[in-house]
Amino acid sequence: MKSVFSAMLLSLMVFTVPAGAQEPVIAATNHQALLQSDDPQLAANKRLVYDFWREVFEGGHLELADKYLTESYLQHNPNVPSGRQSFVDFFSQFTTAKPIKEKVEMPLVSIVAEKDMVILTFVQEVKDPEGVQSTYTTTWFDMFRIEEGKIAEHWDPARKM
């Protein structure tokens, strides 16, 4: 009897498609709250990465890269070369400077800081390959290592393009 019950339970778990299986990812509205920390160094690290994202990455102000990136900046995205100047050269192909916004424009979910690391997590809207719905949301992250007040290293889940 126990084995029959176990087999039935397993069948239900494997072959039943849960209704509404994916909850949408929701962006935070209060970025100032995300920047807070009881540890002043962690708060400073969060602010550094947040301002880099606003000013350099979204704002396209590549002339500010030396304010935020170490000269020997290490890049773990397989599409972007390492080095501060290489970062500038690469992104200058795709961006031009525009007014810097007060808040990060991408839909930001969280900012997590621990030791010398800061992680930004964003909502990512993706086309549904199964066609069940037109799009769905998931997350994207960018992780940074801080060294002497500048970004020294970066990771994200990008694949070669």
Q: What is the pLDDT of residues 93-141, one digit of tens each?
A: 999 999 999 999 999 999 999 999 999 999 988 888 887 778 888 889 9
Q: In this predicted structure, what is the pLDDT of residue 21?
A: 52
The model's confidence at residue 26, banded by pLDDT at 50, 70 and 90, is: very high
Question: What's the domain count of the chain?
Answer: 1
Q: What is the pLDDT of residues 43-78, one digit of tens each?
A: 999 999 999 999 999 999 999 999 999 999 999 999
Q: Is residue 33 part of a domain?
A: yes
Q: In this predicted structure, what is the pLDDT of residue 19?
A: 41
Distance CA 29, CA 12 (A): 39
C-alpha triplet 75, 80, 82: angle, nearest 5°: 40
Q: Is residue 43 part of a domain?
A: yes
Identify the sign of the CA torsion 33, 34, 40, 44. negative
Q: Is residue 89 part of a domain?
A: yes
Q: Phi then psi for 68, rounded to 5 degrees? A: -115, -30
Spatial neighbors of 87 by CB under 8 A, at least 6 apart, are 65, 69, 73, 75, 80, 81
Q: In this predicted structure, what is the pLDDT of residue 45?
A: 98
Across the range 23-52, mean pLDDT stands at: 97
The answer, yes or no, to whether residue 25 has pLDDT greater than 60, is: yes
Q: Is residue 13 part of a domain?
A: no
Residue 158 and residue 77 in contact, taking contact as beta carbons nearer than 8 Å = yes
pTM for the complete prediction? 0.84
Q: In this predicted structure, what is the pLDDT of residue 2?
A: 52
How many C-beta atoms lie closer than 10 Å to residue 42's C-beta?
21
DSSP codes of every residue in 58-102: IT--GGGHHHHEEEEEEE-STTS-SSHHHHHHHHTTT----PPPS
The answer, yes or no, to whether residue 13 has pLDDT greater than 50, is: no
Domain hosting residue 86, numbered range: 25-155
CATH number at residue 145: 3.10.450.50
Q: Is residue 5 part of a domain?
A: no
